[in-house]
């Protein structure tokens, strides 16, 4: 009887650990419209170089010229670091052109990063196989 409880607790702990891991990482296809591409042009106001995903926040004028803040989800710091990115690669005030998959929630201004270009010096990322999981 006691061994059944031990087995039951082990199974319950394994299930809880597994479901916690799955819930912690979201599905990109559930969050973003992977078949669409949006381009934004604007100025970086925040760069969060972190795990599990980095974010670039950009102020972008809408069709009426009003500034809108966009959150662009990117790879984690570890993965981007392996591609030569650092915390200081992008700076607040940098003008950038970003393409990405838009959020499924059309009221949000979120993208999943596909490419990034900084016209001032030609720095670019993506478009040649870079990406993130």
Give me the CATH number covering residue 54: 2.40.50.140
Radius of gyration of the chain, Cα coordinates, nearest whole angstrom: 19
Number of domains present in the structure of the chain? 1
d(CA 37, CA 114): 8
Judge whether 3 lies within some domain.
no
Mean pLDDT of 6-23: 43
Q: Which residues pair with 100 in a beta bridge?
A: 38, 113
Indicate whether 21 belongs to any domain: no
What are the two backbone dihedrals, phi and then psi, of residue 19, each rounded to the nearest 5 degrees?
-70, -30
Q: Does residue 67 belong to any structural domain of this protein?
A: yes
Residue 55 lies in a domain: yes
Tell me the pLDDT tens digit for each residue of 65-104: 999 999 999 999 999 999 999 999 999 999 999 999 999 9
Q: Does residue 52 carry a pLDDT above 80?
A: yes
Kindly indicate the confidence band of residue 34, based on its pLDDT and cuts at 50, 70 and 90.
confident
User: The domain containing residue 41 runs over which residues?
Assistant: 28-126
Mean pLDDT of 111-127: 94
pTM for this model (two decimals): 0.75
Residue 133 lies in a domain: no
Residue 10 domain-assigned (yes or no): no
Give, in degrees to the nearest 5, the angle at Cα 94 between 35 and 120: 90
Element (H, E) at 94: none
Q: Is residue 70 part of a domain?
A: yes
């Amino acid at each position: 009887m006691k061994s059944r409880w031990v087995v039951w607790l082990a199974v319950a702990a394994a299930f809880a650990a597994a479901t916690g891991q799955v819930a912690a990482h979201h599905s990109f296809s559930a969050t973003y419209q992977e078949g669409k591409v949006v381009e934004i042009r604007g100025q970086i106001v925040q760069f969060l170089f972190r795990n599990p995903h980095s974010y670039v926040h950009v102020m972008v004028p809408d069709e009426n010229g009003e500034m809108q803040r966009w959150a662009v989800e990117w790879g984690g710091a570890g993965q981007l670091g392996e591609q030569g990115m650092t915390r200081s690669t992008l700076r607040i005030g940098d003008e950038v052109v970003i393409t990405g998959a838009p959020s499924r929630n059309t009221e949000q201004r979120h993208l999943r990063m596909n490419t990034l270009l900084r016209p001032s010096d030609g720095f670019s990322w993506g478009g040649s196989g870079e990406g993130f999981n």
